């Protein structure tokens, strides 16, 4: 039951990060003459910072080493970002797919892959160790 709740929390926080990403992407895409990739990259960066902060505290409830966790997430995005930026740019700019469809596909892939990476790599050894988790254990 706790893993289902953890997954639902991740989904809700990811949706809020998705709103930030889509909102930022939309503003940049509509108000600038930039190609797909800088709009996507800026929007992705803002959503990742938001998502990491909320999920570390409330979803995974980790009291683990924050710089280490951030470095691991940074490593994930060192792989995910170039691949999704390249693929997104190819689909949107070369194949002329709708930029919003491409962004939504990237967001779906990001949601699934980041949850798995966070759960089984980044926070594997520090789940439910912060003050939020300790309060719930007392109640």
pTM: 0.84
- Given a cut of 90, is residue 135 above it in pLDDT? no
pLDDT at residue 26 in the model? 97
Mean pLDDT of 118-131: 95
Query: For the segment 15-61, what is each residue's pLDDT rounded down to a tens digit?
Result: 999 999 999 999 999 999 999 999 999 999 999 999 999 999 999 99
Burial profile 94-106: b = 16 or more Cβ within 10 angstroms, e = fewer = eeeeebeebbeeb
The confidence band for 139, taking pLDDT boundaries of 50, 70 and 90, is low
- Given a cut of 90, is residue 136 above it in pLDDT? no
Query: For the segment 73-108, what is each residue's pLDDT rounded down to a tens digit?
Result: 999 999 999 999 999 999 999 999 999 999 999 999
């Amino acid at each position: 039951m706790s893993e289902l709740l953890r997954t639902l929390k991740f989904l809700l926080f990811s949706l809020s990060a998705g709103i930030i990403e889509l909102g930022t992407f939309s503003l940049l895409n509509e108000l600038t003459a930039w190609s797909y990739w800088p709009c996507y990259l800026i929007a992705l960066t803002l959503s990742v910072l938001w998502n990491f902060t909320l999920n570390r505290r409330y979803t995974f409830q980790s009291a683990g080493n924050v710089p280490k966790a951030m470095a691991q997430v940074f490593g994930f995005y060192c792989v995910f970002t170039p691949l999704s930026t390249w693929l997104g740019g190819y689909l949107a700019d070369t194949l002329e797919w709708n930029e919003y469809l491409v962004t939504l596909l990237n967001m779906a892939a990001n949601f699934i892959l980041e949850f798995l990476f966070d759960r089984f790599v980044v926070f594997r050894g520090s789940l439910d160790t912060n003050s939020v988790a300790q309060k719930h254990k007392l109640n």
